[in-house]
Amino acid sequence: MVVSEIAIRLRPVSDEEDLDMFRRFCLEPGLIGLDWRGFLDAQGVAKRYAEDGFLGERDGRLIVEAAGKRTGFVSFTEGLYAGRAPYWEIGIALLPDFRGRGIGWRAQAMLCDYLFAHSPVQRIQAGTHEENLPERHSLVKAGFQLEGVVRACEFRDGAWRNGYLYSRLRSDRSPL
């Protein structure tokens, strides 16, 4: 698959195959490496879709499509600093076959552009763990800057892991 900016799009969750992909991320150990938190309730997927199509006011998901294929999803969750400064925290998971082809950084850059266009937030942040070099590189290519290390903030695979916190501000240039 040849990847270009034009070939990638973010779209709302729209069919049963999208939901099946979400269920895989709930049930398949190893699919997201160190981000695996143990089995999650896969029935929650259909419930959430029925509730708001994964497009809530405070959080949501969009499907990442490349060359017409479903490759994974991006997520966004609202947070609040100091009681009055809203921000988004974003996340991403691509299926293994579609990793390392330039889809991840572009999808995250596109999600930022989308969120900055449709909400007045000043800040978008993303965290990953020290060992996740693909995501760390991908975030920098998507216009994020490393802010620092949040020590021992995630318990994964039997150990506390350091989190690497990144942000992209509205005033930072979009790489797209």
Ligand X SMILES: CC(C)(COP(=O)(O)OP(=O)(O)OC[C@H]1O[C@@H](n2cnc3c(N)ncnc32)[C@H](O)[C@@H]1OP(=O)(O)O)[C@@H](O)C(=O)NCCC(=O)NCCS
Where does this chain bind ligand X (CB under 6 A)? 32-33, 35, 72, 92-94, 99-105, 128, 132-135, 137-138, 141
Nearer to ligand X (CB atom), residue 13 or residue 138: 138
SS3 of residue 121 by DSSP:
coil
CB of 105 to ligand X, least distance (A): 4
As given in the structure block, the two tokens for residue 60 are 């949501």
Residue 61 CB neighbours (<10 A) = 23
For strands 123-129 and 85-94, give the pairing.
parallel
Nearest residue to ligand X, scored by beta-carbon proximity: 104
CB of 50 to ligand X, least distance (A): 26
CB of 82 to ligand X, least distance (A): 25
Task: List alpha helices for the chain, DSSP H.
Answer: 16-27, 43-52, 103-118, 133-141
Nearer to ligand X (CB atom), residue 13 or residue 94: 94
